[in-house]
Amino acid sequence: MAFLVVIIILYGLYKKLSIYDVFVEGAKESFSIILTLFPTLLGMVLCINLLVGSGLFDYLFNIIKISFIPVDIIPLMILRPVSGSSTLAILSNILTKFGADSYTGVLASTMMGSTDTTVYCLAVYFGAVGIKNARYALANGLLADICAFIISIFLVKLLYNCFF
């Protein structure tokens, strides 16, 4: 990271830019972005918190059982698109319970590494620039997440013995 900053600064000096003024001007932009972001994010966090806090997901985890997926992975898969902090907590539990190098631990880590909090990303990005109609964005993102989970399951089955 430091390396990247040095390159950018050196390149700016080389182009004879008044880099300090340019830096301040750029940083100023964060105010307007944060101002539009806060209310939209608040709405998103409110409705997601209510859904997660209702216990609906705990109920879902108990009824969903898929033979080739370890039971402890299911909550991770369901919450991943919605909440980054809950899924990191689930990942910690899995890594403590099974060990970081266990099959379940590696599968959970791979799933986390190949996906992102889709709903949160959508809220932040589209909220910050004021997009009201997201069209097929959510469906596209969630489908991609499901595919990434399936890919992770097959890949870890295939490669676990090669790397661990």
Partner 1 sequence: MISLIFGLFIIIGIIFSIFSGNIGNMSNVIVKSASDTFNIITGLFPLMALWLGIMNIASKSGFLKKLTHLLRPLLNLLFPDVPKDSKALEYVSSNIIMNMFGLGNAATPMGIKALKSLKELNNNSTTASDSMITFLVLNTTGFTIIPTTIISYRLMYGSSNPSAITPICIIASLLGSIVGILINLIMKKVFRWHS
Among positions 45-64, residues that touch partner 1 (CB under 8 A) are 45-56, 58-59
- Residue 1 is classified by DSSP as -
Single out the residue of 2, 29, 65, 67 in contact with partner 1 (rule: CB under 8 A). 29
Single out the residue of 61, 69, 78, 148 in contact with partner 1 (rule: CB under 8 A). 148
**In the complex, least distance from residue 67 CB atom to partner 1, rounded to whole angstroms:** 21
The total number of residues written for the chain in this structure: 164
**In the complex, least distance from residue 27 CB atom to partner 1, rounded to whole angstroms:** 4
SS3 of 19-83: the string is HHHHHHHHHHHHHHHHHHHHHHHHHHHHHHHHHHHCCHHHHHHHHCCCCCCCCCHHHHHHHCCCC
Answer yes or no whether residue 2 interacts with partner 1 by CB under 8 A: no
Per CB under 8 A, contacts with partner 1 among 88-147 are: 88, 91-92, 95-96, 99-101, 105-106, 109-110, 112-118, 121-122, 124-126, 128-141, 143-145, 147
Per CB under 8 A, contacts with partner 1 among 66-85 are: none
